Structure 1
């Protein structure tokens, strides 16, 4: 999609097979360097100087724009943005208070089973796992649009309604998965970006090079920006309504997912379909190899990938539902083949997967925080003037990571058995790299990855706590020595004052 143009090299040395070129004069070298410098400073203004075949460039842009558009026979809609926040022991009390404030209950808004805050408290005290289906949450005044009563709350402007489910991954870790169902005019944002006609342009590099940005690359950047803007909907809502671990640590690392629907062909197809040149729009939306695509059982029509091209690679799943591949049996109890039915179908299949990815996201962020804390609190960086500040950092670390060892240990125990993941994730498989194992399952992959990360967090946390205990002891010894030195100085001063007072008394006597 991009190519690099660099400053022309000096003339090559003479070759025995060619006629010796006439050496450049210093004036011609200077002119060439000035021309290139002007091109580098103003690449888009002097683009005609960079392209010797402008007609070829126009034809190439035209073809690139055509191939990157969604075909007229297809429909590309982004239906949902999911956000998944997790809550450890440090966030339990605020979670229950916020859930009580929202007043959410299960069973379509009925209070027969108790509200969500009571369920979370009970699971924290006596439970071993489970889920609580809040269901649809509508905007106040919109409940008449639904057949059954719904929970209500104020929604973002671009959101039609919410789909909420609470998962108790372990006794100490709660995950809330909220699906933000987008309004119709927002759901077409990807297709509208791909339909625009783009013209290539040029960007300078620091080493006097020039990048040629093709229409496909421009559209890819537009899609990434739109994707981040949609993720901000989930991030802003959780920050204001249900802040948890990621909101207090790094909100940009909040695990998210998106649901994209197509009518006739899947967004994440097999290798043969993806290789067709006319389907370049698929690679712009979700560029990923076949081994990173997880497909559901036949008739369900859902597939997803975790490859998203977002900055810093946060946990974000791109989920595709092809309506033509969803069998009537898969949605026979949901009603007609409307958008709301397909959204409900995808949510039921993916919410458990998203919650388990949120557990992975917690472990990844916890491991990063432990490593950052170790680097910032090395013994050699604690000087005499920074002892009090170091002790405050150590206290802040212990307060922030209060429940990390407990949660990591519980996730490690949970990942000892793949059956704990199979119920929520068992329907998705992917091709394997190994010939002796033709298929991988997402449940096994999540189980193994969770187990590995949990063990790393436990080891790193134990090592860091020992390091901080040693650091605290060293700081305490330093402070004791400083205090002793101050006492010695005070004692000497007091002794001198006493001697001076005695001498004055002696000399004042008659």
Structure 2
């Protein structure tokens, strides 16, 4: 399943859905049901060990399955569809999503609200994830998305409790089955996936700006160091050719509220004495804030790099002038040496002796009289 979405005039998104094999689609279930014992692993040499319990071992197995699937997806995109995230991070932070469906249980639960979370459900959610967003229209339909932090992969988890889905809405699809559940999720969440990816784009741009700013170091004034710094500045300007236009597009896009209403029914549990937060409004405000902040950072770094390039160019000009001055003196010495060598020894000895005699025998001039 492939869908091409024109998000803004300057940004085109591609949604690619991968159909899993029967064996891979039940990999989580197999990992959670496997019998495991405590494991002792050596750390810091041979005499220090750590003990991993059953829960940690099962979480490791789940995380490995998730990492392997992300690696397969990244490899496919590197080979067939290189885009922004492949160019910037090599696919390490390529936005991905997975759909977890369960017939009777809710995999993603809102802590402190509703049914307590089961242990096996907790193992399916990685560390570092944010709030669980629940649909008001379909109670068993949930979203859990990562908070973009530094080099953390961008990943989203959707869960559907099949028993809560209205059968009448699936009659046009031919009933509820694995294929129609995927189609239902795609129709309700494709806009969210594209707009949530815009948030990841902004974080990726900020990461590249910070990375280039930290790499640049001109404390050393050697020719090699300055040349390397100029190359890094050139690479940054090549990377950021269309960034200002993208940031302006996203800032304008975030101001159009009607575009963000396709998943308005997803809410997060409220803070005390507050209204429930709407996913569409939170995401829109976040994109609006980050686009403005990133634009300011990009402009500041661009001006800073331009000033550094000017300073380094001036330094190189001064060094070139000093080298030319040295070469001028060296040329004069070589010319005099060539002149001396071209004269015969008798000639320049006689000429030198005559010159010295004139200087020695020269009478001083009388002082001026008034």
Under TM normalisation by the shorter chain, which class is it? 0.7 to 0.9
Counterpart pick for 1:482 among 303, 307, 319: 319
**CA distance in 2: counterparts of 1:309 and 1:481, whole angstroms:** 45
Which residue of 1 is the match for residue 186 of structure 2? 347
**CA distance in 2: counterparts of 1:253 and 1:237, whole angstroms:** 14
Q: What do the CA deviations read for 1:356-399 (whole angstroms, capped 9, x no partner)?
A: 12111111011011011111113325544312221111111111
Alpha-carbon spacing, 1:489–1:288, altered in 2? closer, same or farther (3 Å): closer
Q: Describe the SS at the equivalent of 1:333.
A: helix
Alpha-carbon spacing, 1:308–1:360, altered in 2? closer, same or farther (3 Å): closer
Which residue of 2 is the match for residue 187 of structure 1? 25
Are the aligned partners of 1:288 and 1:305 in contact in 2 as well (CA < 8 Å)? no
**CA distance in 2: counterparts of 1:493 and 1:269, whole angstroms:** 81
**CA distance in 2: counterparts of 1:268 and 1:369, whole angstroms:** 33
**CA distance in 2: counterparts of 1:471 and 1:309, whole angstroms:** 31
**How many angstroms does 1:256 deviate by?**
0.5
**CA distance in 2: counterparts of 1:309 and 1:445, whole angstroms:** 15
Are the aligned partners of 2:42 and 2:49 in contact in 1 as well (CA < 8 Å)? yes
Alpha-carbon spacing, 1:457–1:299, altered in 2? closer, same or farther (3 Å): closer
Counterpart pick for 2:274 among 427, 436, 448: 436
Alpha-carbon spacing, 1:427–1:330, altered in 2? closer, same or farther (3 Å): farther
**How many angstroms does 1:205 deviate by?**
4.6
Matched, 1:275 2:116: yes
**CA distance in 2: counterparts of 1:290 and 1:459, whole angstroms:** 28
**How many angstroms does 1:320 deviate by?**
0.5
Q: Describe the SS at the equivalent of 1:180.
A: coil
**CA distance in 2: counterparts of 1:308 and 1:476, whole angstroms:** 41
Counterpart pick for 1:459 among 292, 296, 303: 296
Q: Describe the SS at the equivalent of 1:292.
A: strand
Are the aligned partners of 2:129 and 2:146 in contact in 1 as well (CA < 8 Å)? no
Give the superposed CA RMSD.
Answer: 2.6
Matched, 1:197 2:35: yes
Q: What do the CA deviations read for 1:471-494 (whole angstroms, capped 9, x no partner)?
A: 111111111112111211211121
Q: What do the CA deviations read for 1:184-235 (whole angstroms, capped 9, x no partner)?
A: 2211100000110010123345497653311111101100110111112211
**CA distance in 2: counterparts of 1:227 and 1:188, whole angstroms:** 12
Matched, 1:292 2:131: yes
**CA distance in 2: counterparts of 1:403 and 1:289, whole angstroms:** 32
**CA distance in 1: counterparts of 2:96 and 2:331, whole angstroms:** 67
Q: Describe the SS at the equivalent of 1:217.
A: helix
Structure 1: runs of 5+ lacking an equivalent: 1-162
Are the aligned partners of 1:291 and 1:431 in contact in 2 as well (CA < 8 Å)? no
TM-score, normalised via structure 1 length: 0.63
Are the aligned partners of 2:129 and 2:147 in contact in 1 as well (CA < 8 Å)? no
Are the aligned partners of 1:290 and 1:431 in contact in 2 as well (CA < 8 Å)? no
How many residue pairs align between the two structures? 344
Counterpart pick for 1:321 among 145, 155, 160: 160
**CA distance in 2: counterparts of 1:260 and 1:502, whole angstroms:** 91
- Greater C-alpha Rg: 2
Which residue of 2 is the match for residue 259 of structure 1? 99
**CA distance in 2: counterparts of 1:311 and 1:391, whole angstroms:** 26
Are the aligned partners of 2:113 and 2:269 in contact in 1 as well (CA < 8 Å)? no
| Structure having greater relative contact order (Cα 8 Å, sep ≥ 6) | 1
**How many angstroms does 1:259 deviate by?**
0.4
**How many angstroms does 1:253 deviate by?**
0.3
Which residue of 2 is the match for residue 495 of structure 1? 332
